Structure 1
């Protein structure tokens, strides 16, 4: 996957979850925080990252930094939806992404909604299946979005004109 270079000032970020994690060592317990952060420009660019640190603000900053390094470009059609239905998978989590007509809105739960809104989708239906671990659900959503193909890409792969593909 090629790395995208973008202006980070246009990116919005959203913290999906903050967890306190503990490591038991000889002297007692080491408390740290992990922050799962999603960033996007609401125009087809989205990424997720995990940051770990002793303080919450530092964990969020690191998560945002990691997310900007993992940005992907996603296709958005003229309805503000996806080009076709797809099932994204990561670990035990699966997310079904369904194309929707104008006026549907974003029908998605928690972590999936954060990813889709920051990606810039206006009309989409989703169903989270399997694990409800927030980290895996976010990554399953991003996996599904990254594997979507536009009609132009499919036509090019098959070697046929787009008109023949759509009709």
Structure 2
């Protein structure tokens, strides 16, 4: 049984691709001349079109077997319409005008345009969505009416909060109230305060540290976020204060804190007992945490300098894979801040305490490229190579 051939009036069949002749490569240093070949046309000689059969031979009438196969699919009325369509379409037109479009506006896929694809042609909207098909914009009279009603309901002494409530509740469209409501609001939710009795006298387990609860109130971080913060004691030594009562001995600690993802803080503590001084320095470092700008979450933006006392240092950006090549105090700060590529150079004193403070000062002095471009009146592309030194 021969394969079932679809009707020409229902499906346009593309013409077969004509074979392309490839020229042999010339092994010569000079470029080859363009081929001067006459384009093929419909009036070509028979010997040139032997490989390309005439249109009427390619599109032959249906045989009895093919008609019997079509009768199993289509009704007699449909078969008459198919035969009429076959007779109405000229084979030459089907061959040279029924090809697939290769221009930019042609479809990139094969599709039966007689049917509707719900996903592409007519997307079905979710019936549970808030979309209102009858939604329309308000007229000027309706807007004036809403404004007059708001002025009528306004209290004797309006505040800025009343205006914000009006801006949040106003509607520029008419339709379903749920559908037209703005997704965002200008009014912020009630923020808890430290003096709020619900927080100050909140019920907590006996095992909770009161310092941790106080730290949560001051920083706004949760206990889960505070547990992710890491601390490192960089400097610790005893100090002596000479008074008329004699020498009073105490301990000094310098601690850094960070979450490894752009937050870094430095804190100092001094107490008579080492443990109290260490705890004091850790809490102060967590409270003093500030965001550190990072380029690609791995290095700094350009070169920055810091100076505290006699310590003068310079931090320099480096390409990926360079690592952190600097002294130990700056290395620990970069590790807690999440910086993996950096170089540092100290020109004068290397006092540990002033080195940590100068490095923290330099990290906070970074300037973003868009700030520099805006100050110079240039674009980002004009500043990038100069600012990064062409290294990244």
Say yes or no: TM over 0.5. Answer: yes
Question: Does residue 97 of the first structure (1) align with residue 315 of the second (2)?
Answer: yes
User: Could you tell me which of 48, 52, 64 is aligned with 2:270?
Assistant: 52
Question: Does residue 17 of the first structure (1) align with residue 235 of the second (2)?
Answer: yes
Contact 2:235–2:253 (8 Å) recurs in 1: yes
Contact 1:79–1:101 (8 Å) recurs in 2: no
Q: Distance in 1 between matches of 2:288 and 2:297?
A: 26
TM-score, normalised via structure 1 length? 0.88
Offset of residue 162 of structure 1: 2.3
| Cα pair distance change 1:31/1:158, threshold 3 Å | same
Contact 1:35–1:52 (8 Å) recurs in 2: yes
Q: How many residues align?
A: 165
Higher strand share: 1
| Cα pair distance change 1:158/1:5, threshold 3 Å | farther
Offset of residue 159 of structure 1: 5.0
* Secondary structure in structure 1 of the residue aligned to 2:300: coil
Higher relative contact order (CA 8 A, sep 6+): 1
The residue number in structure 2 matching 1:36 is 254
CA displacement 1:96-151 (0-9 Å, x = unmatched): 10111111111111221121211111011111232211111001001110001122
The residue number in structure 2 matching 1:116 is 334
For structure 1, the 5+ residue unaligned runs are none
Q: Distance in 2 between matches of 1:78 and 1:29?
A: 51
The runs of 4+ residues in structure 1 deviating greater than 6 Å are none
TM-score, normalised via structure 2 length? 0.39
The residue number in structure 2 matching 1:142 is 360
Offset of residue 160 of structure 1: 4.2
Which structure's CA Rg is the greater one?
2
Q: Distance in 2 between matches of 1:153 and 1:60?
A: 39
For structure 2, the 5+ residue unaligned runs are 1-218, 386-392
